[in-house]
Structure formats: C-alpha cells, structure tokens
Amino acid sequence: MPTESPSNRTLLIVIAIFLVGIVIGGTFALGMNIGRFQIRNESFRQLRHMGFPEDALMPMRGMGRDPLKGMMRDGYGIAGEVLSIKDETITILGRNDQERTLILGSGAQIGRPGDMQTINDVTIGSSIIGFGKPDENGNVQVRHIMIVPAEVNGE
C-alpha cells in the first residue's frame, strides 16, 4: 500500500492554493468587467434622482390599490451612440448594433434641470439616453434626452 510522502502532500496543497487563487482572481476580473459595463450604461432606476421631469417615471403604488394606477409613463428608455442628427430626429446605434430613430416632440427636453441643453449640444459619436414611447414604426417619440458625460462613458 503506497504511503503519501510529505513532498507529495505539499505539492497537492500548493496546487489547491493555486487553483483557489485562480478562481478568486477570475471572479474579481469578472466583477470588474460587470462594474465597468454598469457604469457605462447608467442604471435607469436611478434616473428619478438625476433631475428628470417628475412625471417621466412614476413609482408603483401599494398592492392594495389599482395595480395599473401609477405605472411608469413614458418609461421606455433607449441608449446608444449618436450616428446622425437631422432636424428633430436623432439616429442612434443601440443594443445589438441596431439603428434606432428618436423623434423629439414639441415639449422634448435635453439635459438636466439647471443644465438644460439643446439639440445642438448633441454631437455625432456621443452617447445619449432617451425616454419616451415607441410608435408603430419602431421609432421612439422621446420626451427627454440625457447626454451621457464622457467620463461616465469611459472616454
């Protein structure tokens, strides 16, 4: 019956520690990549505190009330890189490299309160987030657009 020598036992411990280190390092690297992705694409849930109009996103009411009352109005969010700007229409490259058209309505706002901007401040290549309602053609009738700052976008 073979007996385990102290050098074999030490080798097994070193290999086990090495494998645990690889798993921990890989988990850390994955977490960093996910964090970078989340910072680049700001969480839509936090937008209520970012100066958007009061009625752009409405919280849900308690369960004892009408469940549809108080749902999100114009809560459809779309983000992407600006490809072209023409009159009141902005074309962006969104998820899955899909082109989407944002149409600014008459009361559309760009920016945040205290830092309101115009369509002239939107530049080709910048990242934006738009909120509104999709129409039957796949375009989004936006009520509010936020230009993502370059430092948030990782530039």
pLDDT tens sequence across 58-83? 554 444 454 444 444 556 788 899 99
Mean pLDDT of 11-28: 95
CATH topology of domain 45-147: OB fold (Dihydrolipoamide Acetyltransferase, E2P) (2.40.50)
Residue of 150 and 126 predicted with greater confidence:
126
Mean pLDDT of the chain: 76
Are the C-beta atoms of residues 122 and 128 closer than 8 Å to each other? yes
89, 91, 90, 93: which is closest to 81 by C-alpha? 93
Structure tokens that stand for 12 in this block:
């097994």
Mean pLDDT calculated for residue range 99-118: 82
What is the per-residue pLDDT across 142-151, written as a single tens digit (0 to 9) for each? 888 888 877 6
Could you read off the pLDDT of 93-106 as tens digits, one per residue? 888 888 999 998 88
What pLDDT is stored for residue 138 in this prediction?
82
pLDDT in tens, 29-61: 999 988 877 765 555 545 444 555 555 545 544
Task: Kindly provide the residue ranges of all beta strands, DSSP E only, lying in the chain, ordered along the sequence.
Answer: 76-86, 89-93, 99-112, 115-117, 127-134, 140-147
Q: Are 104 and 68 in contact (CB under 8 A)?
A: no
Query: Which is more confidently placed, 117 or 57?
Result: 117
pLDDT (0 to 100) of residue 153: 55
